[in-house]
Amino acid sequence: MLDWVRSVGRQNGMVVVIKRSANLKGGKLPKCILGCERGGKYEPPRHHSEGQPLQRNTGRKKCDCPFELRGLAIPPDGVMWGLLVKCGFHNHETAKYLNGHEYPSRLKPVEKQFVVEMAGSTQPREILNVLKERDSANTTGIQSIYNTIARQKVVQRGGLNPTQHVLDQLISKRYLHAFMTNPATKEITDIVWVHPKSLDLFINFPTVLIIDATYKTNEYRIPLLEVVGITSTMQTYSLMFAYLANEKSDRLTWALGTLKNLMVEKGALMPSVLVSDRDLALMKAIETCFPTARHILCIWHINQNVVKYCSPILGSEMTRFFASWHSLIKSSTPESYQQKWHILVGEFKSYPRATKYLWETWLRPYKERFVDAWLDTCMHLGSNSSQRAESAHARLKLYLGDTMSSLDTSFGKKIHKMLRIQFSSIQKSFERSLNIQRHKQRTDSIFSAVICQISLEALELIDEQLQYANTASPFLAGYCNCTIKVTHGLPCMHDLANYHSQCIPIPLSDIDSHWSRLCMHTDRSNDDQPRSDRTSEVVELLQGMDPSTRDNMITRIIDMTDPSNSTIRSPAYNTEHRGRPAGKNEQSRRRIPSIPKSYTSGSRGASNSSPDGSITLPVTTSRLRKDQPTAQPMSDPFIQELPEAYQDFISHIVDVQADGHCGFRAIVAQIGYGEDNWAQVRMDLIEEIQTNMELYNVLYPEYNYANTLLHSLAWFAPTAPRAYWMDSMSLGVVIASRYNLVLHTFDTYHSGCFTHLPLRSYPVPVRNRREIAIARIRGNHFVKVFLRPHYPVPPTPLWWRQHVSIEARGWVESYIVRMNLWSEIMGGGPGTSGGEFGGDID
């Protein structure tokens, strides 16, 4: 009957209100009275004693409308109803639309249930849109959705206040938690919670933890500290959350100390590596709680601070300065670091403020925490920045949905659900690693002992090293300094070359156990054992305390175990908080085209890089006004060393260490081995010449030059004298033939620029070719050159065309058009004579 009355009301433009009779006794049939919602007498607003009306701007819709219907259930069973019109007149115009009228805008029971089910994961406005899509006649407003959700929260709390409900949820969901309160106000000041599955994950993967705080996550305006770790599948798991009153050392020490106590109780190993930014209070807390762990500083934050401080000092020299700084922090040995530091200080002696800042702020106190020479002596899994923690913050804020969540909302309805999805994703990655065999690894017998035994991500890292194993020397296995063995606990290209040469698979024992743990759960056999009853000990301790301390302790126990009787209140609102300063819009950013992508060390570098290899640097002043001139792009002094007509085709240049091996360093870095593997190139070129001695004797017929090249390559001391420097003209074709690539060599004069192609192999398809470039500048120093797309190509030496095999002649065909473009730009090609091979170059 109710639905029928609603439909009649909508058709006739009236709104009716049903008043059901009370439960009748004696078997009487029910009845109901239906009247207009505007029925009833108008009552004027109440007044204060002073005669002034109430401040609330309210009103009433009652106008004593006489309309009334009466419904009677028809005997004997009351299934049918009879409707009697008591008064069929209105003293007002009928409603044209039902929107805004209270009774027809109410939610039906089915709609209320839908709102309750969707409230935890969907915004109220989206819920309302779905309801209106399902029922075009629905007139419900957004306030009805809000009211339904609010009533449901009260029901869920079961009579508990929000803080009591949070504590009850922490206990019922078996969270490990602790909190501190203000004794005077009973307000929570700090609270820490850890999911038991997160602690299980840490027990399995204790190698690296990343710590960072975020802001604007709650209505109390207090920071949220989050600790995350890394699984064997390179997934990030959230270990601990903590709301702290502030970020002072004592609060952070308490939070990390609580986490450490939980680790000790579970018998877990302490973390090997901790990563954070240079927050002095956090650094002190880490040293207090985890004194044996290696502490790494986030390189992304360091670079941002260096750019912000030094850019106003150096101006147009910032590009070259940042390149030298990047080269310094990428030093592979302490000796290399010392040498590069002296070079940087000498090169920028005109800017003592900048070099003093680097030394006093970063290098002297913290170089062991971010320079590769010291950083790569521990297993950090490639985590030299706090990017994973920042990504975890972003994911968390996505779940929170706004910046004003209460403690009850953020934990019960957001963070717990986020962790549930996170655990599911991690478990999925474990199952994939245990059951999926990638085709490229299934067909290679070298993976037979480790496939489905370690994570797919570990196999991918090994596969990257395997790509270089064909050109790596197996004799260096066990003697090389490849960083992947230390930083990731995986075999390097030399180890893989050794396994290939012996036709044996990769032993599982050569891979760190971090990569073979593919489960979330730990052995809980100890948890199932009966525990001794220590109640008597607690009673003794309480009886030995003075009355005041005993009462406080009992209150504390009640707060922890029975939240329904707790007197604890929600955290106080913090008026002094961190975050973006008020009134600040998004920071202006400017691009510096001459700084390459590779200069931005750390995982976050790519996020600040543009496709052409430049990075964006934060402007140190406030937002630029429209009338301010735009900064001119910084020039690259290395590029200015090369022919002026060709400079526009060069994207950027990267320097290498000047130690007599710079030519080989530039080659090995361009190939992808890493600059400090220059000795590998020397050995590879020796092997190339010795294996094809007849060919190179024909190529270099005068003065037994092939043996001279072999002698110049046979030097492996840290510093090479002039006789052992690279001769790019004579070794260019050897490099191209050995690595089956295209090598462009540039000089200060265009007549010294050449393209070196392989002598023996069939051409590689253009899309798969490796094309690298180096340049000789300042008379005797090599650097790495990065070219822009569709660059003009220097010509090949005449003697290459004279001695190239029939199979390799196709290499040059795809470059003919761009070689002609080179001739047009440079005003004619270089001399055709290829008999004079450059000179000694460093």
Tens digits of per-residue pLDDT, 490-526? 999 999 999 989 999 999 999 999 999 999 876 655 5
Contact 616, 631 (CB under 8 A): no
For tokens 């790596």, the residue is 472
CA gap 211, 255 in Å, rounded:
11
β-strand partners of 326: none
For 227-268, what is each residue's pLDDT tens digit?
999 999 999 999 999 999 999 999 999 999 999 999 999 999
Distance in angstroms (rounded) separating the CA atoms of residues 701 and 526: 78
| Other CB atoms within 10 A of residue 842 CB | 20
Whose CA is closest to 163, among 405, 403, 406, 417? 406
Half-sphere exposure of 461 (CA within 13 A, CB side): 21
Give 162-298+386-426's CATH code, choosing from 3.50.30.40, 3.30.420.10, 2.30.40.10, 3.40.50.720: 3.30.420.10
Beta-bridged to residue 590, according to DSSP, are 617
Nearest CA among 754, 750, 781, 826 for reference residue 638? 781
Residue 275: φ, ψ to 5°: -120, 135
Mean pLDDT over 677-703 rounds to 85
Which of 450, 456, 452 minimizes the C-alpha distance to 231? Answer: 456
Report whether 515 contacts 489 (CB < 8 A). yes
| pLDDT given for residue 525 in this prediction | 52
Mean pLDDT of 604-623: 37
Average pLDDT of the segment spanning 800-813: 87
Q: Indicate the pLDDT class of residue 12, thresholds 50, 70 and 90.
A: very low
Q: Which residue has the higher pLDDT, 540 or 436?
A: 436
pLDDT tier, 744 (very low <50, low <70, confident <90, very high otherwise): very high
Best CATH choice for the domain 639-826 from the list 3.40.50.970, 3.90.1010.10, 3.40.50.20, 3.90.70.80: 3.90.70.80
Model pLDDT, residue 760: 87
Residue 662, pLDDT score: 92
For residue range 450-497, list pLDDT tens digits in order: 999 999 999 999 999 998 888 888 888 888 888 999 999 999 999 999
At residue 73, the 3 state secondary structure works out as: strand
Q: What is the mean pLDDT of residues 68-90?
A: 80
Tell me the C-alpha distance between 28 and 21, whole Å: 11
Nearest residue to 490 (alpha-carbon basis) of 512, 508, 519, 469: 512
Alpha helix stretches (DSSP H) within 29-107: none
Average pLDDT, the chain: 80
d(CA 239, CA 202): 7
**What pLDDT was estimated at residue 475?**
86
Does 285 score more than 70 pLDDT?
yes
Write out pLDDT tens, residues 133-172: 988 888 888 999 999 988 888 887 777 877 888 888 888 8
pTM of structure: 0.62
pLDDT bracket for residue 533 (50, 70, 90): low
Q: Exposure pattern of 223-237 as b/e (b: 16+ CB <10 Å)?
A: bbbbbbbbbbbbbbb
- Ordered by start, the domain boundaries in the chain are 1-39+62-104, 109-157, 162-298+386-426, 315-369, 438-502, 639-826
The predicted model gives 23-51 an average pLDDT of 58
Give the per-residue pLDDT at 580: 47
Residue 35 — left, alpha, or beta (φ > 0 → left; ψ -120 to 50 → alpha)?
A: beta
Beta-bridged to residue 192, according to DSSP, are 178, 242
According to the model, what pLDDT value does residue 168 have?
A: 83
Q: What tens digit of pLDDT does each residue of 706-725 get?
A: 888 888 898 888 888 888 89
Distance CA 643, CA 751 (A): 10
SS3 of the chain: helix, strand, coil, percent, to 5: 45, 15, 40
Reduced to 3 states (helix: H, G, I; strand: E, B; else coil), residue 744 is strand
Half-sphere exposure of 2 (CA within 13 A, CB side): 9
45 or 280: which leads in pLDDT: 280
Are 286 and 271 spatial neighbours (Cβ–Cβ below 8 Å)?
Answer: no
Identical fold between 162-298+386-426 and 639-826: no
Q: Look-up: residue for tokens 């419904």? A: 71
**pLDDT value at residue 524:** 54
The string of pLDDT tens digits covering residues 94-105 is 777 777 777 778
Q: Is the pLDDT reported for residue 310 higher than 70?
A: yes
Q: What is the rounded average pLDDT of the residues 115-127? A: 86
Q: How far apart are CA 604 and CA 388, in angstroms?
A: 10
